[in-house]
């Protein structure tokens, strides 16, 4: 299937397909009459790429992770480290946002308390 067909059928933005092609990770993708042709393996990889984007990976991080995936099971430990680091970063962000919410709620409480005294 072509890039446009893959984009439409699976809802994959063409910019993601362009990234995938530019990284040279699509070894099974073949150019036929000037257009890339995607198979099921490519679609599975693209699904993983979309997941990585969705959880906050930046394009260079996605590329690095996908290179590890292509190297096979011998990179499982490295991929776990990458995912662990991303998870810790997300937890730090969640805790920071919780503190912001606490401060926001305190300010709201103070105003409500003042209004009740009137």
pLDDT above 80: residue 60: yes
Flag whether the pTM goes above 0.75: no
pLDDT in tens, 68-102: 998 999 999 999 999 999 999 999 999 999 999 99
- Compute the distance between CA of residue 41 and CA of residue 95 in angstroms, rounded to an integer: 38
**For residue 16, what are the domain limits?**
1-71
Average pLDDT, the chain: 88
Q: Note whether 66 and 90 are same-domain residues.
A: no
Place of tokens 């103070």: 110
Report the number of distinct structural domains present in the chain.
2
Secondary structure (3-state) at 13: coil
Q: Specify whether 3 is located in the same domain as 48.
A: yes
């Amino acid at each position: 299937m072509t890039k446009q067909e893959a984009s439409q059928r699976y809802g994959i933005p063409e910019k993601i397909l362009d990234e995938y092609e530019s990284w040279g990770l699509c070894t099974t993708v073949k150019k036929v009459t000037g257009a890339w042709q995607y198979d099921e393996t490519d679609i599975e990889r693209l699904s993983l790429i979309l997941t990585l984007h969705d959880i906050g990976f930046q394009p260079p991080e996605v590329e690095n992770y996908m290179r590890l995936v292509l190297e096979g099971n011998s990179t499982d430990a490295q991929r776990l480290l990458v995912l662990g680091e991303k998870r810790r970063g997300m937890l730090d962000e969640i805790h920071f946002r919780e503190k912001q919410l606490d401060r926001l709620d305190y300010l709201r409480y103070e105003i409500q308390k003042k209004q009740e005294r009137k």
